[in-house]
Each structure stands twice: as structure tokens, then as C-alpha cells.
Amino acid sequence: MIRVDFENRIRIAEASGGEPYKCFQCGTCTVNCLLGDVIPVRRNIRYVQLGVLPSNDGIWKCITCNFCRSQCPSDVDIAAIVRGIRYLNYEEKRSPEELNEILWRVYEEGNPLGSPRGERFSWLQTLTSNSNPDVVIYTCCLAAYDKRGQQVLTKLINVLQSAGVEVGVFRDGSCCGDIVYHIGDDYFYEELVNENAEKLESMKPSVVLTVSPHVYHNLKNLYPRYNAKISVPVMHHTQYLYELLNDGKLKLGRLENKVTYHDPCYLARYNGLTEEPRGLIEAVDGVEFVEMLHNKYETLCCGGGGGGIWTENMEARRATRDRLNEVTEVGTNTLVTACPYCIRMFEDEAKVTGQDIVVYDIVDLLSMAIE
């Protein structure tokens, strides 16, 4: 029998921003969860309402996509509840050992891969500005250390420079803290984000530009909650490039292709950025754009969020495969997206399943189309 623990109830509700009390236990989230049979979503929320802290595997398998929220009749921010539960489990030393290892890598080398700090940008040959640039790019760790991410970053710099933008790169930065936040180590997160914000500010940019929706979400929405203030606008690259296009500074040529677009969860669902990427794709003459069944606020997930990309989360691959199947259903093999995690997850899974799907960042597409 479960006894109501009133004190714990308040503690968990506070850690989850009061979200559990919006839930009336209809179960729609459990039915719609992209990893439904692994995560007892409704039951976890019920436990929280009763003041019992869940610590099942599902809590750590959740990819924080919040697709469940998009289907919930009460608009409960379920990912916020998951994060609250993780935070309290972490405080009680009940998180999986694998995650402590990741935290240690971020602490030691400034990235969850554990790659040497000094190699973060040693590969970057393209000339960038160090003093008062128009934009400073804050890449995610995957874009800095993964070869495919490095390609996208190099192309982004080239596309921006073709539009006359003075580009700087945040070379001194480390992990934005996304994975630290999802694991629930708030003390480390606060220290990390304040250090990052201070170093960023010292570059005096007009705009901070992110390649990853996860970095964007952290800088824009989470840093202020931990008093890490960034005094200039933070923009995702699709937003900034769309502005350049509308100002007539980004000139695009012709490219024959039929493509579809995957909205990254942290761009579309968390931050409402859905029109800018579509505007950029449709601005390329000769490109035929087709929409997948799940799109914009109701997008599916690549499986990489919430720490999914850094852990042995085989269940998350189910979400990746479901999305790839939607790509082929609309009669194209070209999937465009705007997130380094999505590119890595989709490319890996397409190799495993043998699907002939080419995955582009929007920057890949624009780089082929610049005049």
C-alpha cells in the first residue's frame, strides 16, 4: 500500500514546477509516449502526486521529447516532471553509474565525450574574427568533436561569410551544460553556465549564434534561471540565416531535390521555431518540399534528447526508426534537419537499418545553393 507523504509531495512538486497537479490521470501520455512500454508515464506522475519519488529505469530512458505533452489534454510539462524526479534521485545518489562517468568527463575535459579540451577547435582552419564580431557561434560538443558536426560548422561559417557577416567562434567555451542539467546536478550546472556566460560576454558579440537547439534552449531559457546572464540576443542559426535571407544578404541559387524536414523537439516544441527552417528550404529554387505526418509542434523525436545521445539507450532507437519510416512514407530519401544530435542519430540508424536516407543540416543544403 502506498502512503501519502505530504512533505515529499511538496518537495517533488517544487522540483517539477508544480506540473504534477495539472494531471488528472487520463493516461493519454502513456499511450502516446514514443518509448511507451519502457516508461510508465502516468503511473510515475501518480506516484509524484502522492509524494513517492519514482526511481525506475524509465526515468532515465526518457528522451525528454515532450511528445507526450503535445498530446496531453491538460498540457502538462511531463519532461519537467521527469527532470524534477531525476534531480531528486541524483541528490539521493540513486542515478545510474554511467551518468556519473559522463559528469566526470564534462568536469575534466569540458565535454561529455571525454575528448581533450585542447582539441575542441584545433581542427578549425576557417578564418574567424576574435574581436567584436557580428556573431559569436557557440557550438555544441558534438559539433565540435564529431567529424560530421565539424563539416556543418565549417559550412555555416562559409555561408555566413558569403552574406558579409563577421564571424567569431566561442573557442574558450565548454559544454553548454545540457547533459548536466538532464542528469540533475544543479550545483555543477550553475557553476558551468556562469563560467560560460562570463567568457561569452567578454567577446562582446552583437548576437550569440547556436548550431544546436539544445545549446539554444539552455542559453535562452535555462541560463537565466541560474543567474547566468547573456545580455545580447541568442539565436539559432536558422533564425539568423532567415533574417539574412529576408534582408537580401543571403543569395541562393538553384538546386534540384525533393526533401522533407524534421523539426528538432527543442527547436519546435520547446521554442516554437518552425517557420524559419521551412522558409529557408523553400527559398531554394528547384527544391520540392514535402511535409511528414508529424510536424511542427507535434514532431516526433530523433531519440537523442535528454541524454539519449550520450548513453546506451537502445530503446531510444525505436523513436529514431519510427521517424526514418515517416521519411520514406512521403517519397523522398533526403531528410533535412537543424540539430547535430538529430543528424548523428538518423545517420547512425539509417546505416543500421540499411535505409537509403541522406541526412542534411539546413546549412548543408544552403551551402550547395549559395550563389
CB nearer to ligand SF4: give 56 or 161.
56
Number of residues that bind ligand SF4 (CB under 6 A): 28
Q: Does 27 bind ligand SF4 (CB under 6 A)?
A: yes
Distance in angstroms (rounded) separating the CA atoms of residues 314 and 90: 22
For the CB of residue 68, give the shortest distance to ligand SF4 in the complex, in Å.
Answer: 3
Return d(Cα 223, Cα 201) in angstroms, integer: 13
For ligand SF4, the closer of residues 34 and 141 by Cβ is 34
Look at residues 203, 213, 198, 193 and name the one whose alpha carbon lies nearest to residue 171: 203
29 touches ligand SF4 by CB under 6 A? yes
- Smaller CB separation from ligand SF4, 73 or 354: 73
Q: What's the CA gap between 324 and 293, in Å, rounded?
A: 12
Residue closer to ligand SF4 (CB basis): 120 or 214? 214
In the bound complex, what is the minimum distance in angstroms from residue 38's beta carbon to ligand SF4?
A: 8
| Binder among 67, 87, 310, 341 for ligand SF4 (CB under 6 A) | 67
28 lies in the site for ligand SF4, by CB under 6 A: yes
* Binders in 68-127 for ligand SF4, by CB under 6 A: 68, 72-74, 76, 78-79, 82
Q: How far is the CB of 286 from ligand SF4 (least distance, A)?
A: 36
- In this structure, the strands spanning 207-210 and 167-169 are unpaired
Which one of 19-27, 144-152, 199-207, 326-334 is the stretch in contact with ligand SF4 (CB under 6 A)?
19-27
According to CB under 6 A, which one of 1, 3, 7, 24 is a site residue for ligand SF4? 24
* Binding test (CB under 6 A) with ligand SF4, winner from 66, 238, 274, 311: 66
Nearer to ligand SF4, 209 or 309 (CB): 309
Length of the chain: 371
Closest CA to 38 of 311, 316, 306, 324: 316
In the range 36-65, which residues lie near ligand SF4 by CB under 6 A? 39, 41-42, 45, 62-65
125 CB contacts (<8 Å, ≥6 apart)? none
Q: Nearest distance from residue 50's CB to ligand SF4, in Å? A: 14
Quote the cell numbers at residue 264.
Answer: 528538432
Q: How many CB atoms lie within 10 A of CB 334?
A: 18
Q: Write out the residues near ligand SF4 by the rule CB under 6 A.
A: 23-29, 33-35, 39, 41-42, 45, 62-68, 72-74, 76, 78-79, 82
